[in-house]
Structure 1
Amino acid sequence: MHRWDLSPFSVTPAASLLARCVSKDILSQGEIDSASSRLSPVFSNQLHEAEQRIRTQRQLDQLQLEMDLLKMEKKTADVTNSFYLSRRFQMLQMFCSHLQGLLKEQNSLRQRLMKPLGRTNLPVQAHLQRFVVDVVKMLLDFIQTLEEKLTSVRCSPSAIDRLAQLNTSLAQLLAHVADVESLSNQVLQRKEAHSSKQSDSSAG
């Protein structure tokens, strides 16, 4: 490897220029080696440190790229790995069995509800069947009357509304009483005044 190379993966512009000069016989490899050997130690150390920093940075970039690839593989492993797939398949099977059990229970419940709750033919003796019919009619009448009563109760005003109406009526009645009392006082005053005028006129 050439000592002018900054990394094993790339060629610097200076090294490329020197390589062209050597290929065109402008410079020889010996002249380049002798010139590089005559460099001051300070310059050589700085160049070496720069090369080390560049190599280290590229190694870090390579490691970062590998770490990103590993993270991506880890994310995709949740879907493609057989371990995770087997666990998810087991959970899916459990869920399917639970759904099947619910469907079976629903079917059995539906069949039970479709069956009649009582017998179609009531075991009633012949001489009592007329009373059973009367009782059924009375029951229907009772249900109808009860519905009418409930409807009337729902539609009727509540006790609070009735109390408010009573208070309003009482206030109106008191107002009318006060008006009547004032009118009666006015009538009495006018009557007294009229009688006093008549007495004065008769005395004169």
Structure 2
Amino acid sequence: MPLEPLPGNSSDRSAVVVRKRGSKKMIFQVSAGELSSEMLNISKKSASCFVNFSRLQQMTNIQAEIYQKNLEIELLRLEKDAADVIHPSFLAQKCNALQNMNNHLEAVLKEKRSLRQRLLKPMCQENLPIEAVYHRYMVHLLELAVTFIERLENHLETIRNIPHLDENLKKMSKALAKMDILVTETEELAENILKWQEQQKEVSSYLNTVTEQSTCS
């Protein structure tokens, strides 16, 4: 049934229906008894663009709320991680340690001159008091120190000779060759000495026989 937007008319039996659709107000004149539920449902429908806009607004609000909650969770995590560091007892311990260090530095600054003189003066010229109970341990400690220094010198000498190792090996090989030559010469000399001893024995025996013959004659 066609409906036209008309102003209200009170002369006949009709009803004026006003529906707001978007930003427009539509006024319909409907005869008595002809208003149905379908017409009311149609008039209640709103534009789809406004529905989408409201949904988008809701989604934006939800995302902003989620972001805010994530920030709060991150802050809680940071607070939990830093709880031990910023705990009052821990801070008190750090303050005590810093105070002790400050007191120590102040004492060092006060004794700066005497400490400098002690550092410049050799410690070996001072008599260090040691109780008699620990004398034997000090003797043993000195023996160990001397042994350690000797071994350290040997190790240092070995380390110093590492760059000249090839040259030293060449010298050792030459020395071994010379030793072989000397050994062979010594063996030859020993053989010659043995031969000379035998010859001397023969000569002495010959001289003895000659002297015996001369005495007999």
Indicate the structure (1 or 2) with the bigger Cα radius of gyration. Answer: 2
**TM score, norm. by length of structure 1:** 0.26
**TM score, norm. by length of structure 2:** 0.25
Higher helix share: 1
Higher strand share: 2
